[in-house]
Amino acid sequence: MVVTQGFAAPTRVPRGQLPKKMTDPVIFRWDDSAAVTATALACYAAEHAEALKKPRLPARIAQFLNEPRLAYDASAEPDPDAPPIQDGNGSRRFEDGSLYTGQFANGEREGHGRYRSSLGAVYEGEWVAGQRCGKGMERYPIGNVYEGQFTDDKRDGLGTMWYPGGDTYEGFYKAGKKEGRGKYRSASGALYEGEYRADLREGQGKERYPDGSVYEGGFREGKRAGMGTMRYASGDVYVGPWKRDLRDGKGTFQYAGGARYEGDYRAGVMDGHGNYRFADGSLYIGDYKNGKREGRGVYHFADGAIYEGEYKNGAMEGFGTYQYIDGRAEVGRYENNVDIIVQCGGMLTMR
């Protein structure tokens, strides 16, 4: 993006003064120091970076937000000496300071109307028996903007929410919360499409992450849970169960480089029993702990040799048997992959 607005011809400003009207967001003086200029540019960049985070609103929503009537309008104040309106068009000020302007029926808000709460929220849309019901738009005090269906004064049915940070949600609501199918797009680039319950991702869904990774499967309480498949941006693929966003249970991890693991996971790492086939053809079958080989296992080397015995912290550690490709076998004790006491053919050897 090319920014030109802040780099018009410099405006000559007498020292210590600022013009009454500034048409450019950044104004420099010929005698400004480099530090002052750098500070001004930093402020300009920060302001525009913040602006880029704001959601790109549809024209109708932007128009709704920019209409002067969203601000306080003294002309809408009801006549304090007039009796409360029963039917037709009019205004009513409530005890908490809220103001409604629109249609009435039998003394209740009914039909189309605009409501400004004492906290600053603004709603414009349909009313039934004094409650928001039907289609409407609402701006909340924190900056969220919602357009969609209402029932019994709450978001209910199909709707869209725009968040101040740039996130958007399109989908179904129930009793004011996201419920059913929906699509949530984050300003960071993440995209979730799937089921919701009580405002959280719950059920089956698909989520694409900013780095390009894609998960498809179960969710619970807003996190990956149950069976699911994660295709990482690196090319790795995991298929199996999840718990609280972490791999947990018996799963399969296919590495982009050709290696493959099938076995147990706990809290996101290999833990329990599993088979790991390396890209060179080597195969380990045995126990894992905290992501490393630990316990008992069998390692089939690519050249045909076999080690069977104990492991610790990913290395051969403890007693084990090493069988060479020529048929010879050594039984001994190992430390960090090195055999220090070996028995071969009835002889005990120290190394």
What's the rounded Cα separation, in Å, for the pair 150 and 147? 9
Closest CA to 67 of 137, 10, 144, 150: 137
| In-domain check, residue 89 | no
Q: What is the CA radius of gyration of the chain?
A: 34
For residue 68, give Cα distances in angstroms to 56, 63, 74, 142, 308.
20, 10, 12, 19, 80
| Low-confidence stretches of the chain (pLDDT beneath 50) | 1-53, 70, 72, 346-351
| In-domain check, residue 37 | no
The predicted structure's pLDDT at residue 57: 76
pTM for the full model? 0.76
| In-domain check, residue 277 | yes
Domain count, the chain: 1
∠ CA 12-18-19, nearest 5°, is 75
Beta strands, E only, 140-190: 145-151, 154-162, 168-174, 177-185
Query: What CATH number should be reported for the domain holding residue 334?
Result: 2.20.110.10
The predicted structure's pLDDT at residue 19: 40
- Judge whether 170 and 192 are in contact, CB under 8 Å: no
The predicted structure's pLDDT at residue 24: 41
| In-domain check, residue 292 | yes
| In-domain check, residue 158 | no
The predicted structure's pLDDT at residue 73: 53
| In-domain check, residue 113 | no
| In-domain check, residue 101 | no
Amino acid at 118: S
* 57, two tokens: 């609103």
The residue segments making up the domain with residue 278 are 258-350
| In-domain check, residue 117 | no
